[in-house]
């Protein structure tokens, strides 16, 4: 895993329609040739999640070099926190993504959505279908497993504050080691720095703790609604579905059904990882890059 290096990207802020400042990372040169990549993180995650992948894609390690934009939703990473936690909503977040892309004059791109980011990509496909040249859905689909949602609800906004980086690593191992059996020590350390930050000598999560309120509204005892109607709207958009082999959020059966219902949907299983694959490893990055180059087989300028 490549450690975060601020010299490898530029940070920018765009103002949302309601005045909040939204942060994104920009990797690679803006070009008029190959389509850019837009990375959308999971519920409590942020732009740091895609650092290793963004470096590979922007450098052309496995294919055509591309511009990569990695976004922080409101209430995550370096974006402003919202005083109204009800705005931590897929529709609001998707509107924020459109605000950022409009400010950057991006009118077509290939999207990589991890978990919540994949749901946002589905919403964006309905709102602005011409924007979506292709989508990578990282461990998310039209059917979300209640077991996985319950596990996420058990820790978002509820983890104790670690006292050191070593403590942060131990905390993540306690929560996730059963699902991420393939991670080495350097991977765990990088993972910890995606989740936590150090401020004034204290360690805090890189998201608004009020996010937990959005999960408290879920009734996991009732049948969860599925998103097959929304998925049908992706029929003309090439898809790559990644699934962590140990995932408790996306089942193998759902992936097979996704391929059955979509004529241009490929799938790849990330061994030794759960929800959601961290996208550190070379083989996963290579599969993503190859999919992107199939969608947009342009040569670099």
Residue 152 forms part of a structural domain: no
Dig out the tokens for 107 from the structure.
């009118």
Any domain includes 33? yes
pLDDT at 4: 65
Q: Phi/psi at 121 (nearest 5 deg)?
A: -65, -40
pLDDT digits (tens, 9 = 90+) for 91-122: 999 999 999 999 999 999 999 999 999 999 99
Q: Would you say residue 55 lies in a domain?
A: yes
Residue 113 domain flag:
yes
For residue 56, give the nearest of 287, 298, 296 by alpha carbon.
287
Residue 161: how many other CB atoms lie within 10 Å:
12
How confident is the model at residue 58, as a pLDDT? 95
- Exposure on the CB side of residue 151, measured as CA atoms within 13 A: 16
Residue with tokens 């703790």: 209
Q: Which of 22-26, 180-184, 296-300 is predicted with the least confidence, judged by mean pLDDT?
A: 296-300
Q: CA-CA distance, 57 to 67, in Å (whole number)?
A: 8
Domain presence at residue 166: no
- CATH number, residue 38: 3.40.50.1820
176 in a structural domain: no
Q: How many domains does the chain have?
A: 1
The set of residues, in sequence order, having a beta carbon less than 8 Å from that of 10 and lying 6+ positions away, is 25, 26
Mean pLDDT of 129-151: 93
pLDDT (tens digit per residue) in 38-55: 999 999 999 999 999 999
Tell me the percentage of the chain whose pLDDT exceeds 70.
94
Phi-psi bin for 284: left (phi > 0), alpha (psi -120 to 50), beta? alpha
Has residue 25 been placed in a domain? yes
Q: Which of 73, 69, 55, 75 is nearest to 111 (CA)?
A: 69
In a 13 Å sphere around the CA of 286, the CA atoms on its Cβ side amount to: 4
| pLDDT confidence tier of residue 31, bands split at 50, 70 and 90 | low
Exposed / middle / buried, residue 81 (Cβ in 10 Å: 0-12, 13-18, 19+): middle
Q: Which helix (H) or strand (E) holds 98?
A: helix 90-103
Q: Which domain holds residue 58?
A: 6-146+226-295
* Percentage of residues of the chain with pLDDT beyond 90: 79
Q: Residue 166: pLDDT band by 50, 70, 90 thresholds?
A: very high
| Non-local CB neighbours of 80 within 8 Å, separated by 6+ positions | 20, 21, 22, 74
Q: Does 27 have pLDDT greater than 70?
A: yes
Task: State the Cα–Cα distance between residues 23 and 70, nearest whole angstrom.
Answer: 9
DSSP, collapsed to helix, strand or coil, labels residue 244 as strand
Q: Quote the strand ranges of the chain, DSSP E.
A: 10-15, 21-27, 37-40, 68-71, 109-114, 132-138, 196-199, 202-205, 239-244, 265-270
In a domain, 193, yes or no: no
Q: Rounded CA gap, 69 and 101, in Å?
A: 9
Please determine, for residue 2, whether its predicted confidence score (pLDDT) is greater than 70.
Answer: no
| Predicted confidence (pLDDT) at residue 141 exceeds the cutoff of 60 | yes
pLDDT at 149: 84
């Amino acid at each position: 895993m490549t450690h975060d290096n601020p010299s490898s990207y530029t940070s920018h802020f765009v103002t949302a329609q309601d005045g909040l400042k939204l942060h994104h990372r920009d990797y690679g040169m803006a070009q008029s040739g190959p389509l850019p990549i837009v990375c959308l993180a999971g519920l409590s995650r942020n732009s740091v999640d895609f650092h290793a992948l963004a470096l590979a894609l922007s450098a052309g390690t496995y294919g055509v070099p591309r511009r990569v934009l990695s976004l922080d939703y409101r209430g995550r990473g370096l974006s402003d926190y919202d005083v109204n936690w009800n705005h931590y909503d897929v529709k609001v977040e998707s509107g924020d993504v459109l605000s950022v892309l409009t400010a950057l004059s991006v009118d077509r791109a290939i999207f990589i959505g991890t978990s919540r980011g994949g749901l946002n990509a589905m919403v964006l496909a309905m709102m602005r279908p011409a924007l979506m040249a292709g989508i990578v859905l990282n461990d998310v689909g039209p059917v979300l497993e209640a077991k996985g949602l319950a596990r996420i609800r058990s820790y978002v906004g509820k983890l104790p504050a670690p006292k050191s980086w070593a403590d942060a690593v131990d905390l993540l191992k306690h929560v996730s080691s059963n699902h991420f059996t393939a991670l080495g020590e350097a991977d765990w350390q990088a993972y910890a720095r995606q989740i936590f930050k150090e401020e004034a000598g204290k360690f805090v999560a890189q998201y608004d703790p009020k996010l937990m309120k959005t999960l408290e509204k879920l009734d996991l005892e009732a049948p969860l609604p599925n998103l097959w109607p929304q998925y049908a709207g992706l029929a003309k958009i090439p898809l790559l579905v990644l699934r962590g082999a140990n995932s408790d959020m996306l089942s193998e059966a759902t992936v097979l059904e996704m391929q059955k219902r979509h004529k241009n949907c490929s799938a790849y299983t990330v061994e030794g990882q759960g929800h959601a694959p961290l996208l550190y490893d070379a083989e996963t990055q290579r599969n993503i890059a190859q999919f992107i180059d199939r969608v947009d087989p342009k040569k670099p300028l």
